[in-house]
Amino acid sequence: MPYISLNPATNKTLKTYTSWDSHHLAIALEQAHDAQRTWAQTTFSERAELMNRAAMLLHERGNEYARLMAMEMGKPLREGRAETEKCALACDYYAVHAEHFMQIEMVQTDANKSYVSYDPIGVVLGVMPWNFPFFQVIRFAAPSLMAGNGCVLKHAASVPQCALALEQLFLDAGFPLHLFTTLMIDAADVVEAIASHHVHAVTLTGSESAGREVASHAGQHLKKCVLELGGSDAFIILGDADLEQAASFAVRSRFQNCGQSCIAAKRIIPVAEIADEFVSLFIEKAADLKMGDPMSETTQLGPMARLDLREDLHQQVTDSIAQGAQAVLGCEPAPGEGAFYPPSILDRVTAKTRAYHEELFGPVAAVIRATDEEEAIHIANDTRFGLGSSIWGRDSQHAEKLAQRIQTGCSFINGMVRSDPRLPFGGTKASGFGRELSYHGIREFVNIKTVWIR
């Protein structure tokens, strides 16, 4: 199947690319393997110099990359520039800290000398999604390259121009040829790549079903695997919360990137005593979002990434309404060309509806009213997902105690869930396993080696 770069705002094809055959894939993996073996012998200072150059180019090309993301997946320009800056931050972070994270750790034992070293593991295959087409790649590639590994990228088929731009970025920064390679392969060929003896580990960000498939093959071939999968994050508003602040961040967290984010606040859970007031504010603020052309500087909500994704989302919405949820804002596809769906809110969502149990990957918020804090915690945990959560309340110490009872990879108090290079990122339950970012992320794809000397 060809790679088709399509503008979701107009539904018009931008470019078409031919997928590689097995022979082309085998050569690319062998070249990446050879490049990595040489790269592993470089010093951290040599690697850091190139990674700093990559960060500099990301700063310089912010507008160019933002326009590319706007054209290829509908991300508004302001969000595309912010994503590019976040990529630069991650590159700079690992350029500075990788050597410290990978330094030899001396351990006292009965030996004359014993220590733990962190050695490159080889070539890491990244299977990445379209929703953050630059940052999802950088957050696995920057630590992997700084650790001395090579990277091969199987990007989403809908963002081939972004994938090739990332490969060119690393080449322009001075990284060796083939050390970071974009694989123009079909989803079915991922299995072949995992099975290759030139690939030593795999990381996937994507759907639960894709994660199960990749993890199954990685396990079969005894390859290390990290998965960051779906999420249905709870956004709990307590009785003492600053409702104006909470409503503003609820809108930002739910509708950023057109709601197409694993860590978006998908389940809005106000306690009964403030629910009516909060929901009124939430509706008012969401209705003010400006939907339109992602190439416009004033646009806050662009189109969804594909028409078929919009159709799937709307089916979840209509089913949930039929099951008792109330449409209080939007909840109908926008007329005209493109994959536009307005900011939408479903109120009175209960356990009888699809919106309660399923991830809504688009600009639709599910409001699930809780009678009290105890029920709010129950609702937060009443999901197979466990990526992120946030709690809003003026008594932050009390909110912190509640957060410790939520089964997620991260909990934020009076702040929007987001990734940060300084903190580990990942989930539990059906949201995956393993961690990206911080020192935890760089150590996922190394050989943790014990050396014992007498």
Please tell me the distance from the alpha carbon of residue 331 to that of residue 365, in angstroms, as a whole number: 10
Q: How many residues does the chain have?
A: 454
Rounded to whole angstroms, what are the CA distances from 333 to 12, 79, 323?
Answer: 18, 22, 19
Judged on CB neighbours under 10 Å (0-12, 13-18, 19+), 40 is: middle
Which one is catalytic: 228, 359, 436, 444? Answer: 228
Q: Look at residues 105, 102, 107 and name the one whose alpha carbon lies nearest to residue 121.
A: 102
Q: Which one of the listed residues 262, 331, 358, 444 is annotated catalytic?
A: 262
Q: Where does residue 183 fall: left (phi above 0), alpha (psi -120 to 50 degrees), or beta otherwise?
A: beta
Spatial contact of 409 and 403, defined as CB atoms under 8 Å apart: no
Find how far residue 437's CA is from the centre of its chain: 12
Whether the Cβ atoms of residue 141 and residue 133 lie closer than 8 Å to each other: no
SS3 content of the chain, % helix, strand, coil (to 5): 45, 20, 35
Q: Are 159 and 14 in contact (CB under 8 A)?
A: no
Q: Which of 52, 61, 62, 59 is nearest to 92 (CA)?
A: 52
Is 273 marked active-site? no
Secondary structure E strands in 65-213? 105-106, 113-120, 123-127, 150-154, 180-182, 201-205
Q: Is 228 assigned a catalytic role?
A: yes
Tokens of 346: 């479903």
Question: Rounded to an integer, what distance in angstroms lies between the CA atom of residue 318 and that of residue 327?
Answer: 9
Catalytically active residues, by annotation: 228, 262
